[in-house]
Amino acid sequence: MDKNNCSVDLRKLILMLSIVSGLVIVVSAFYAAYSVQRQQLIQASLANNYVYADKLAKTTDDFLGSAQQQLMFSAAVLSGKLNDKSTLASEVDRIRLQTDSFNSVLIVDVTTEVLATSPEALQITGLKLSTPGVLESIRQRAPVISNPYVSTAGNLLIFISHPIFSGNGDYLGFVAGTVYLKKKSALHRLLGEHYHKDGSYIYVVDQNRRLIYHPNAARLGETVDNNPLIDRLVQGDEGESIIVNSEGVEMLTGFAIARKTGWGVVAQRPMRAALAPLDNLMQQVVYKTLPAVILCFVVIVWSAKKISMPLRMLADGAQRMNDDGTEKNIQNVKSWYFEAQELKKAMLLGVGLLHGNIRKLREDLHKDPLTGLGNRRSLDAALQKFKNLQMDFSVLSIDIDYFKTVNDTHGHDVGDTVLQHLAQFLSHICRVDDVPCRVGGEEFIILLPGTHKVDAAKIAERLRQNVEATEIPVVGKITISVGISCYPEDARDVFAVFKHGDEMLYQAKRHGRNRVEVFRPARADAEASA
């Protein structure tokens, strides 16, 4: 009687320990995996937002620089022709219609009288203006990008001007273009095309805390006070931050400065949107693992009627299911009867599925989902490995030329196909130990361990030629620009090496694109001294 009671108690104890320990281990494993990957996703999203904000800031500077160049060319054309009304009318129409940089264009003489304007619907020709942009342009007699203000016609705008001088150097007036902030414009499109459609958005403020761009048009022109993030932008700070916006939504934020104007560009993505891929992936892991876990416990209940020691050993294994050596320990259980053998197989299946799914989760989080190349996490891991091995390496910074034109002309689906084709080129040209990564929209990096700049330049040139010679469906041929730097030859600091690579990439862009530029410290120092 006592033996029977003891046997029943032991069976219940085995079942209780197996069920409780199994649940604790599974939940702990999922919680640990979720917590680690969650933090990595947050850091990656913060970094991506900063890169995106920085890129928009640089693109905004490029847009404003291009607009100023248009006006500078026109100012040269108009020198000595301010009395020719037909020429003035033709020139303002040409500037406005040739590109979509400006919403309106006007020519003003030294007395602030408007000599010509486009479109004529503004009806300000012949008037003398005293708006802030006009007065600042007259006062400075130099190229001007004004702070936002309300014009005579009632538009909130930015005023961009260039002075007109006679052949003798006398100041005659200026030609100016306006960018309306509350109406569609090139600047509006530039800032409004966000790469996420999940509640993410961009906004821009000037040095006076005034909103220049915001997806909520009603807020344009609003001055924002008591905002720590804007305080940092006004001070010229750049970086990443987790904030709660005015609607109480937790946002992952990256922010950067447009150097030409001092405007602050802020890119924000909701925390919940950034974590959505992880939530979906963890659900899939649960769904795939759950049947095996249930099977394990059913087998345990069925087998526990007649066994004690083998079950105890298996229960001990269940308590350490997330340990690396668990599979080997379960394999060593001497299941000398059929029931124990089947239970052993089921537990091995569950452990294998759990570890396999977690490994897959980690691998997916280190790959770019579109191209299959590494992402920033895999790039960081490779750099850490090179650092531990004290290994020299070269950096190839790669960017697709005129990629925005591909997206604008053919759509983002075709743009994605172009990115995938380039990823294939990178994969084919890379050696076993090379590390190809996608780090931004059309930006790629290849790490070449143990490779000096001469060989890296040969590899880059071969890649450039292969890309240029290949036809891509719909798009045709594309080209790339490549910047090369080397660690530790160019710098002992890895961040500086990457910066040199980016500088060479932008130099390749400036020199006509479709080319390879190699960083040369001696030349860089000479240029700095000059």
CATH topology for the 376-529 domain: Alpha-Beta Plaits (3.30.70)
Q: Residue 315 and residue 297: Cα distance in Å, rounded?
A: 10
Mean pLDDT of 306-327: 61
Confidence at residue 236, expressed as pLDDT on a 0 to 100 scale: 87
Domain pair 65-180 / 376-529, same fold = no
The answer to whether 214 and 220 are in contact (CB under 8 A) is yes
- Give the per-residue pLDDT at 170: 92
65-180 CATH: 3.30.450.20
Q: At what angle do helices 403-410 and 412-429 cross, to 10 degrees?
A: 140
Q: Select which of 442, 443, 489, 527 is catalytic.
A: 442
pLDDT band, residue 496 (cuts 50/70/90): very high
**CA 246 – CA 243 distance, rounded (Å):** 10
* Mean residue pLDDT across the chain: 83
Catalytic, 240? Answer no
- Helix 338-365 with 271-303: angle, nearest 10 deg: 170
| DSSP per-residue codes, 463-515 | HHHHHHH-EETTTEE--EEEEEEEETTT-SSHHHHHHHHHHHHHHHHHTTSS-
- Kindly report, residue by residue over 232-245, the tens digit of the pLDDT: 888 889 999 898 88
The predicted structure's pLDDT at residue 526: 46
pLDDT of residue 358: 59
Select the more confidently predicted residue: 421 or 306. Answer: 421
Average pLDDT over residues 179-201: 73
Q: Which residues contact 482 (CB under 8 A, 6 or more apart)?
A: 396, 397, 398, 460, 463, 464, 504, 505, 508, 515, 516, 517
What residues have CB less than 8 Å from 80, skipping those under 6 apart? Answer: 166, 167
Residue 273 has pLDDT above 90, yes or no: no
Flag whether pLDDT at 70 surpasses 70: yes
| Tens-digit pLDDT profile for residues 398-426 | 999 999 999 999 999 999 999 999 999 99
**pLDDT tier, 2 (very low <50, low <70, confident <90, very high otherwise):** very low
Q: Does domain 45-62+185-273 have CATH number 3.40.50.300?
A: no
Please state the domain extents for the chain. 45-62+185-273, 65-180, 376-529
Q: Is 450 helix (H, G, I), strand (E, B) or coil?
A: coil
pTM comes to 0.49
